[in-house]
Amino acid sequence: MGLTRDFFIKLSENQALNAAAKRYGLALGANKVVAGVDIPSTIKAIRVLNAKGITATVDNLGEFVFSKEEATKAKNEILAMIEAIHESGVKAHMSIKLTQIGLDVDEEFCYENVREILLKAHACGNMHINMDTEDYKHTMQTFAILDRLKGEFKNVGTVIQAYLYRATEDIDQYQDVRLRLVKGAYKEPAEIAYQSKEDIDENYIKLIEQRLLNAKAMTSIATHDHDIIDHAKRFIAQHNLNKELIEFQMLYGFRTELQEQIANEGYQFCVYVPFGQDWYGYFMRRLAERPQNLQLVTKSIFTPAVNKRIAAGAGIAAAITLIAAAKNSK
């Protein structure tokens, strides 16, 4: 098995490795893409971004939520972060994943949790809450919950994945909702999603243009793809679009020079800032998305010594996974 997408997806899904990683704190170089394990270190990282004219959307990392207790714990962590953002005065809002606050446990319970988060965020300066989209089933459930909440709350938004055929209709449906546009991070079948990079990129550009021409709320273009960013910039200029309602987003620790360059050009820029002890699955999924990130990240920000630790870490993780698989097959 090489350093492929499936390899890292498998690692990200390994609960034993996930649990082990929590005990070790940020390791394998994850501190470059995860802002901190607790609220104070994350607020500190956001201040550094704010000083460069960059805002943040903060994600409380969490994996494998199977009980109401775990979901309530995650919800309380999110509430605490909302309060910390508000009290510290940093320029930031939050991104949440509904599976983390009970979507798989009980949909109604999850809906109530989102409401509580939105009420708290509203009380904290009407802070925006973005509901991230996940695999197709959970994305459809997320949209259903959005449909119930968008009349009551103006501080809620979601994410449109350009690989889905239905994305065009979703963009029309949510013209007055704040949206983040992404290519899409999960493995979906050809019945519902474009498969090739070319088709996904083409649809992504089409959706960006469609959204920017018709949006009545903020649009976040979330990609590390410089060609698509350049295309969006040209489109914004050609159509003289209001930059107040448009921002670019990238993940914390990725292409930081480009992030700063775009912010310095006068565009709004927001960085997705993950934090928490549950960093391992997130880190492995970033490598799954783009195994070259291992080199790209290491080339751009890691020292040779840390490079070796990442490679060794991935190797150890692979070894543990293979041992576990061998044991299970016995």
Ligand X SMILES: Cc1cc2nc3c(=O)[nH]c(=O)nc-3n(C[C@H](O)[C@H](O)[C@H](O)COP(=O)(O)OP(=O)(O)OC[C@H]3O[C@@H](n4cnc5c(N)ncnc54)[C@H](O)[C@@H]3O)c2cc1C
Q: Has 115 been annotated as catalytic?
A: no
Q: What is the 3-state secondary structure (H, E, C) of 275-302?
A: ECCCHHHHHHHHHHHCCCHHHHHHHHHC
Q: How many residues does the chain have?
A: 330
**Of 176, 219, 167, 217, the residue nearest 194 (C-alpha):** 167
Of the two residues 10 and 32, which places its CB atom closer to ligand X in the complex? 32
Of 157, 184, 274, 276, the residue at the interface with ligand X (CB under 6 A) is 184
For 8, 29, 281, 304, 318, the CA distances from 312, given in Å and listed in that order, are 14, 11, 17, 12, 10
Q: How many residues bind ligand X (CB under 6 A)?
A: 24
Q: Has 225 been annotated as catalytic?
A: no
Catalytic one among 178, 180, 285, 286? 180
What are the strands, taking DSSP E only, across 72-172? 92-96, 129-131, 156-161
The answer to whether residue 161 forms part of the interface with ligand X (CB under 6 A) is yes
In the complex, minimum distance from the CB of residue 299 to ligand X, in angstroms, rounded to a whole number: 9
Of 208, 250, 263, 314, the residue at the interface with ligand X (CB under 6 A) is 250
The answer to whether residue 60 forms part of the interface with ligand X (CB under 6 A) is no
Q: Site map for ligand X, 5-44, x if CB under 6 A? A: ----------------------------------------
Of 10, 246, 255, 313, the residue at the interface with ligand X (CB under 6 A) is 255
Of 296, 301, 311, 320, the residue at the interface with ligand X (CB under 6 A) is 296
Of the two residues 36 and 184, which places its CB atom closer to ligand X in the complex? 184
Contact 263, 23 (CB under 8 A): no
DSSP 241-256: --GGGEEEEEETTSSH
The answer to whether residue 182 forms part of the interface with ligand X (CB under 6 A) is yes
In the complex, minimum distance from the CB of residue 254 to ligand X, in angstroms, rounded to a whole number: 4
For 124-225, where are the alpha helices, taking DSSP H only?
Answer: 136-149, 167-173, 197-214
In the complex, minimum distance from the CB of residue 328 to ligand X, in angstroms, rounded to a whole number: 29
The answer to whether residue 159 forms part of the interface with ligand X (CB under 6 A) is yes
Rounded to whole angstroms, the Cα distance separating 74 from 94 reads 13
Rounded to whole angstroms, the Cα distance separating 132 from 188 reads 16
The 8-class DSSP code of residue 36 comes to B
Q: Which residues are catalytic?
A: 132, 180
By the criterion CB under 6 A, which residues form the site for ligand X? 132-133, 159, 161, 180, 182-186, 222-225, 249-251, 254-255, 272, 289-290, 293, 296
